[in-house]
Amino acid sequence: MLSDSSLAFLKRLLDTPGPSGFEGAPARVWRAEAATFAAEVRADVVGNSLATVAGNGTGPTILLAGHIDEIGVIITHIDDNGYVYFEPIGGWDPQVLVAQRMRFLGRHGDVFGVIGKKPIHLMKPEEREKASKITDLWVDIGVKNKAEALEVLEVGDAGVIDSRTMDLPNHRIVSRSIDDRIGAFVVLEALRRYAANPGAARVIAAATAQEEIGYSGGGARVAAQAVHAQMAIAVDVTFATDHPGMKKEEIGEHNIGGGPVLTRGSVVSPVVYRLLADSARRLDIPFSIHAAGRFTSTDADAMHLARDGVATALVSIPNRYMHSPNEMVSLDDLDRAASLIAEACRSVSASTDFTDR
């Protein structure tokens, strides 16, 4: 079970705004927690945060990566009346933004507003049938004019939906930033458990930056290059398929509370997949399997091609309602994923051959 202190850290991490390119605040929360047990904690120029547990010094280096950024918005224009216009940071369905409360990271502190749209009473019948576009929306921050708005905001300021983590029954939580603040949490929790009973490997947990916009690999590519890892595990979320409208034939069967999801195929090293699967069976941890014929759309895609190749695997947490204001995961899955990853790291030694011969 996750400890009370780990749960408190998790909620602080989830509630701290940090869209891609603006991850500084949650990164500081992450590093402060890492400093309570890790031998070395640092940040890099890209925005990654890294924490190291040396192990006994005889094994290879393992990189655990979970991206700390979340999707958000960025201000593109403030009109004469003080209304704020924006474009997305990361992938939004504009329909979920309509009428949301927003929280901007202003230069003097947080600035709150609401997303506006023409009332349904004033819409023509054909307008009611159309989906909203980002360009149809604006944020009202309650000011009278542009001059007032510019006292607290400017073009280029970022924002997120203003919501807080909520507990639900059956050890489930809801948050806007589960993708993938959860991954950053799991890799640090796994490192904490590894530190309590270390093996031969030097293990580095990284809260990576800019994954949601990381078309060239984001911070994970930089981290994998910099730490000279021989093995890497990316931790991200995947689509839970235990709610209406999901096609298990296309996505697989991954249930909230059903344990972590291990990916096979694509960029995943068969050697590291087997290390994880064997560790799960040894610890009696349930898991499901995701098949990836091409890319994984996670940090794994960037890490496996670093330098002369890194043996990389992907562990995912089943997540309902991804890229929405209310993503949902099970705390049990986080706990199991952390234990699984720590155990897999302990099973690596200097003699581990990462080439699938």
Contact 111, 104 (CB under 8 A): yes
Q: Which of 323, 54, 329 is nearest to 172 (CA)?
A: 329
Contact 230, 257 (CB under 8 A): no
- What pLDDT band is residue 277 in, cutting at 50, 70 and 90? very high
Per-residue model confidence (pLDDT) at position 148: 98
pLDDT at 234 over 90: yes
Helix ranges, the chain (H): 4-15, 24-34, 125-128, 146-150, 178-196, 218-227, 248-251, 270-283, 299-303, 331-346
pLDDT at 215 over 80: no
Active-site hit among 211, 212, 327, 343: 211
**Alpha carbon distances (Å) from 64 to 41, 206, 214, 315, 341:** 14, 6, 17, 10, 9
DSSP string, 119-141: -GGG--HHHHTSPP-GGG-EEE-
> In angstroms, rounded to a whole number, what is the distance separating the alpha carbons of residues 32 and 37?
10
Per-residue model confidence (pLDDT) at position 229: 96
Burial of 12 (0-12, 13-18, 19+ CB in 10 A): middle
Amino acid at 137: L
Report helix, strand or coil for 101.
strand
Q: pLDDT by residue (tens digit) across 94-115?
A: 999 999 999 999 999 999 999 9
Per-residue model confidence (pLDDT) at position 252: 85
Percent of the chain residues topping a pLDDT of 70: 100
> In angstroms, rounded to a whole number, what is the distance separating the alpha carbons of residues 223 and 205?
10
**Alpha carbon distances (Å) from 277 to 197, 239, 300, 313:** 20, 20, 17, 11
Amino acid at 334: L
Q: Looking at the DSSP assignment, which residues form a beta bridge with residue 56?
A: none
Domain with CATH 3.40.630.10 in the chain: 4-70+176-346
Superfamily of domain 4-70+176-346: Zn peptidases (3.40.630.10)
Q: Which residue has the tokens 């034939």?
A: 249
Structure tokens at 50: 């890294």
* Residue 320 DSSP code: B
Q: pLDDT by residue (tens digit) across 290-301?
A: 999 988 999 999
Amino acid at 260: P
Domain with CATH 2.40.30.40 in the chain: 72-161
Per-residue model confidence (pLDDT) at position 263: 97
> In angstroms, rounded to a whole number, what is the distance separating the alpha carbons of residues 94 and 142?
22
Per-residue model confidence (pLDDT) at position 118: 81
Q: Which of 258, 322, 309 is nearest to 300 (CA)?
A: 309
- From 3.90.1150.10, 3.10.580.10, 2.40.30.40, 3.40.50.150, which CATH number describes the 72-161 domain? 2.40.30.40
pLDDT at 214 over 80: no
Instruction: Tell me the average pLDDT across 1-15.
Output: 96
> In angstroms, rounded to a whole number, what is the distance separating the alpha carbons of residues 280 and 292?
20
Instruction: Tell me the average pLDDT across 203-213.
Output: 95
Confirm whether 154 is a catalytic residue. Answer: no
